[in-house]
A and B are shown apart, each in its own frame.
Chain A
Amino acid sequence: MNDGRIARRRVVITGCGAVSALGNSAGELYRALCENRCAVRRMAEYEAEFGRALPGAPVSLEPSSVRAIPRRQRRGMGDAALYAAIAGQEAYRQAHLETVDLADGRSGCAVSSTMGSAKSIYEGVEMLLDGRREEIPAMQFFRCAAHSAALNLANLFGMTGVTAAPCSACASGLQSIASAFEMIAFGRQDLMLAGGCDELTPAVAGSFVQLFALADPDSRQDAAELSRPFDAARTGLVCGAGAGIVVLEEYEHARRRGAEMIAEVLGCAVNTGGAHVGQSDAASIARCMGLALRDAGITARDVDYAAAHATATVAGDREEAAALREVFGAGVPVAGLKGHLGHTLGASGALELTALCEMFRHDILLFTRNLTDPAPECRGLDHVTEPRPMKVRTLLKTAVAFGGINVALVLRNLG
């Protein structure tokens, strides 16, 4: 390399898989997003605990797809890991990984979530507090462990390379993909399953209520209008669930086995605001985007589409919009998917990336739902609010998390 960067290998995406509240495949998810469908509803089942039906965007799985995972592999999976496993199976099929020896020590797994299965942790603690310690199943730990998704996927697919689980709340999935990219780019692995997953539980939704960050729980508004990224009427996020898994592969490895290459990961960056545990800030988000562009060897002018994190919180969207303005001005279409899907927490960056990979195959931009009146502090951007015909060659995806952690990834369309 003659530009001072460390020599590294090219990394491509050869498969995607998704489990989401709008469909349990990347294709279904993409179509639902294009049709402007919304997964947010009132969770009547939360009424007993909260006294009101909080909004949420839950996943539902076909029993047959659950059973398709052998019991021996499934028993250590809480819900989040199960979503990751099913999404992983779709990615595996898309990438035709039956032609790869995943036990060669050169294939690994970087998958993460906010924590281990929140539901399993809750169940375990309940049993402890009830004095039923001796009834806790043997497999409970494996469901509760922070790296539950990673350990389960590595064992499901028989992968003997690196297993990693960078857990960073809402940046988990995208950070896992960034980590996997680096492992391949710098020669440690040739292939990685990477992504994120998370569950929707009363405890997690309740924690956002405590922080006044959940979209107005007492609102009588139609649930489908509650999650409003960048909008003047936004009141907070809606929790969702799901998983997004991609197959990342070294370019020559993919080419030699004739794998279809969906996209190339040109570069990435991870950084931290370093000032506030609860929030990131425009300056560090902008710096992260800039670092990712430099890592990719491109400038802001080369980007056709900015896929925002945009959780619909008042502060978060304000800071991210300021960062986007600084980096791109009004020259790049910007959109976020949380108006449709809610905030899928650890899954979000990765799950949304699978929809963006589908967008690469079609010439129509994904748009921000419920953005009818951009807030003054979120203006000055080219907001995409309905399907727009346009071919995307290069996109930037961001994720921003508690801890002030920012992740940005640059993808090039190879379709």
Chain B
Amino acid sequence: MTDEKLKEIINAVFVEQFELDPAELTPEKEIFTDLGLDSLDIVDLVIALQRKFGIPLRQNEELRKIVTLGDVYTVFLHLAEENPELAAKIAGE
């Protein structure tokens, strides 16, 4: 699994869920202020990521603290390191 592959998958969720321009999706972008999501959207982001990766996320502490898109990448990199099945799923996407 490459970091790039993971970022592609996460970016695709943002594009599909929130109709964002892929060109806007760079790691330093803040989810609320730059990408224009609000608290209702965050609920739907978590659900979409759950569905995409097949793992429960609502109680994930790290995910609750995300500020930037890069933070989202980091959360899933950590999850993939701890969970070989998740890493394999990502590699297979």
Where the two chains meet, the residues of A that have a C-beta atom closer than 8 Å to any C-beta of B are: 67, 71-72, 75, 134-139
Contact = CB atoms under 8 A, between A and B. Distances in A.
A134 B18 contact: no
A136 B51 CA distance: 11
Contacts of A72: 36, 38
B40 A134 contact: no
Contacts of A71: 18-19
Secondary structure of the B contact surface, majority rule: helix
B58 A134 contact: yes
Contacts of A137: 43-44, 47
A150 B40 CA distance: 19
B93 to A, nearest CB: 19
A394 B51 CA distance: 57
Contacts of B43: 137-138
Contact of B50 (A67, A135, A138): A135
Contact of A138 (B19, B40, B51): B40
Which 7 pairs, one residue from A and one from B, show the smallest C-beta to C-beta distance?
A: A138-B43, A138-B40, A71-B19, A137-B44, A138-B44, A135-B47, A137-B47
A135 B44 contact: no
24 contacts: A67-B19, A71-B18, A71-B19, A72-B36, A72-B38, A75-B40, A75-B41, A134-B47, A134-B50, A134-B56, A134-B58, A135-B47, A135-B50, A135-B51, A136-B47, A137-B43, A137-B47, A138-B40, A138-B41, A138-B43, A138-B44, A138-B47, A139-B40, A139-B44
A111 to B, nearest CB: 22
Contacts, number: 25
Interface string B38-55: 101101100100110000
Interface residues of B, number: 13
Nearest to B37: A72
A79 B47 CA distance: 22
Nearest to A142: B40
A134 B36 CA distance: 24
A134 B50 CA distance: 10
A15 to B, nearest CB: 28
Nearest to B18: A71
Contacts of A75: 40-41
Contacts of A135: 47, 50-51
A197 B50 CA distance: 34
A135 B49 CA distance: 10
Interface string B69-80: 000000000000
B41 to A, nearest CB: 8
A137 B43 CA distance: 7
Q: Which of A71, A137, A138 has the most CB of B within 10 A?
A: A138
A75 B51 CA distance: 19
B51 to A, nearest CB: 6
A272 B36 CA distance: 48
B33 to A, nearest CB: 14
A135 B52 CA distance: 11
Nearest to A74: B19
A71 B58 CA distance: 24
A67 B56 CA distance: 32
Contacts of B47: 134-138
Contacts of B51: 135
A136 B43 CA distance: 10
B21 to A, nearest CB: 12
Contacts of B19: 67, 71
Interface string B11-23: 0000000110000
Contacts of A67: 19
